[in-house]
Structure 1
Amino acid sequence: MKIFFRLLPWLILLIAGYLFIAKKFSINTSVESKHQLLVEKIEAIGKLELVKYQISDVLEHKNKTDFLPEASVLLIVKAEAVGCIDLTKITREDIRIDADTAVVNLPQPEICYVKIDHKNSRVYDTKMAFFREADLVDEAYKAAERKVAAEVKKSDILTQTKTNATNVLKPIIEGLGYKNVRLSFE
């Protein structure tokens, strides 16, 4: 019991010292952002999105240099590609009405965009990246975007866009009172 009373002042001093140092030298951080947004351009868009492909890619990206060890990053990339037709390209000459028949020449389908979904993509692992990790991850995402775009161009997205255009537009035109609807793509 005597030892306890001898150590008690030291224990109290030690706890008080810890609390003082923790309070005095605690790091308080605050974040402040000031934005001044400016709308630079407003465009009228007449593209009808008709099909969306959601794509996953597992990518191992390596960077080799002469004087540093090989660095690599493993990404799980989520992307989307959208096929559409640009309705602003339709002119009056592209629409022909004969009694109860409507003939519409639509523009060729196109790939509206291919983009990486950074919110759902993940950096799974990095090896030997050290101070170049950010650059390596950036290179990997760019490589993934190029590869996904190339694969989408090889896919049947444009054929699927044509099919969906017919499935969407034909009932709308029939609803206007035309019994026969013919859609073609120029």
Structure 2
Amino acid sequence: MADKEESKTSEYPEVTSGAGGWSPEIGDPVDPRADKRTAPAPREPVVVPVKQGGGVTRGLFWLVATIGLVIALVLGAKTIGLFPGLTNPFAEQQTDRSGPALLKSVQDLNQFVAAEGNFQVIVDVQKDRKYIPDFLLNERILFVAAGSVEVYVDFASIGQGAVKESEDRRTAEINLPAPQLRPVRIDNDHSYVFEEERGIFNRIGDAFSSDPNRLQEVYKLAEQKIGDAAKDAGLQKRAEDNTRKMLQQFLAALGYTSVTVNFPAP
């Protein structure tokens, strides 16, 4: 009997279980509902949102960083003299689009510049309002002005009979006009604003409007002060002495032994 049962079971194929799985024996009842309960549910795909524009921002950042690195390397190599022949591609360039100068007129000058005075003056101008604090409304400027004044004698104004000479051409007497002061000439290369104070309201006004002639008044005041100083500096007396000496040496070379140069009394 045992041999018959063994022969029956040998007719069925051998069933192997999976790794860690359950292998049913022949004859065990199979419950299909149990398989449904134990079967894992399929997973839903996970969608990860991707931010738009991230690549553009990173690209822009690296572009700016690369340009900054190139500028730093070029300026650094130029500063330490690593490449003497290297020119700075980021150097400042100045373009002059001014037109040519036009000749308006020509005037012959018969003037002898006999003396010149160089001056320097500090112009301190302040504009404020009464009962208003200076930090609100105030304008003050310290301007260091350098200028010069020339003193000349106008030979073109010598009239008839201004020059008298002896018959033997050995003695001469010349009557000349008084020396004159030329207009003050400000030296822009040596003139500068030393300090400037402006109130809050003044600075706010500057943000909305600009005054290109703001320093014109300061320049005019500097010219006036230098001109007054030139009148009191004795330049005219020095010009008379230099003119007299020049004419005496010039006429002495022509054979005159006595030369007298007269100027009007001050």
TM-score bucket of the superposed structures, by smaller chain = 0.7 to 0.9
Match of 1:71 among 139, 142, 148: 139
Following the alignment from structure 1 to structure 2, what is the Cα–Cα distance between the partners of residues 138 and 112? 20
Shift of 1:33: 0.9
- For the aligned residue pairs, the C-alpha RMSD in angstroms reads 3.1
Following the alignment from structure 2 to structure 1, what is the Cα–Cα distance between the partners of residues 93 and 246? 53
Determine if contact 1:103/1:181 at 8 Å carries over to the other structure.
Answer: yes
Determine if contact 2:126/2:140 at 8 Å carries over to the other structure.
Answer: yes
Shift of 1:160: 1.2
Does residue 123 of structure 2 align to residue 59 of structure 1? Answer: yes
CA offsets per residue over residues 125-177 of structure 1, 9 Å max, x none?
11116326754432211111112112222331111111111122211111110
Determine if contact 2:121/2:225 at 8 Å carries over to the other structure.
Answer: no
TM-score w.r.t. the length of structure 1 is 0.79
Q: For 2:65, give the aligned amino acid.
A: Y
Shift of 1:92: 4.7
Following the alignment from structure 1 to structure 2, what is the Cα–Cα distance between the partners of residues 59 and 13? 52
Which is richer in helix? Answer: 1
| Corresponding position of 1:127 | 197
Following the alignment from structure 2 to structure 1, what is the Cα–Cα distance between the partners of residues 106 and 157? 19
SS in structure 1 of the partner of residue 256 of structure 2: coil
Determine if contact 2:120/2:146 at 8 Å carries over to the other structure.
Answer: yes
Determine if contact 2:149/2:184 at 8 Å carries over to the other structure.
Answer: yes
- Bigger Cα Rg: 2
Shift of 1:48: 0.6
Distance 1:58 1:16, change over 3 A: same
Following the alignment from structure 2 to structure 1, what is the Cα–Cα distance between the partners of residues 101 and 69? 41
Q: For 2:188, give the aligned amino acid.
A: H
**Structure 2 spans left out of the alignment, 5+ residues:** 1-57, 71-89
Determine if contact 2:116/2:149 at 8 Å carries over to the other structure.
Answer: yes
| Corresponding position of 1:184 | 262
Following the alignment from structure 2 to structure 1, what is the Cα–Cα distance between the partners of residues 252 and 183? 30
The one of the two structures with greater contact order (alpha-carbon pairs below 8 A, sep at least 6) is 1
Shift of 1:112: 2.2
Determine if contact 1:59/1:140 at 8 Å carries over to the other structure.
Answer: yes
Which is richer in strand? Answer: 1
Shift of 1:184: 0.6
Match of 2:181 among 108, 111, 119: 111
**Structure 1 spans left out of the alignment, 5+ residues:** 1-10
Following the alignment from structure 2 to structure 1, what is the Cα–Cα distance between the partners of residues 94 and 183? 38
Following the alignment from structure 1 to structure 2, what is the Cα–Cα distance between the partners of residues 153 and 18? 64
Following the alignment from structure 2 to structure 1, what is the Cα–Cα distance between the partners of residues 249 and 239? 16
Determine if contact 1:126/1:133 at 8 Å carries over to the other structure.
Answer: no
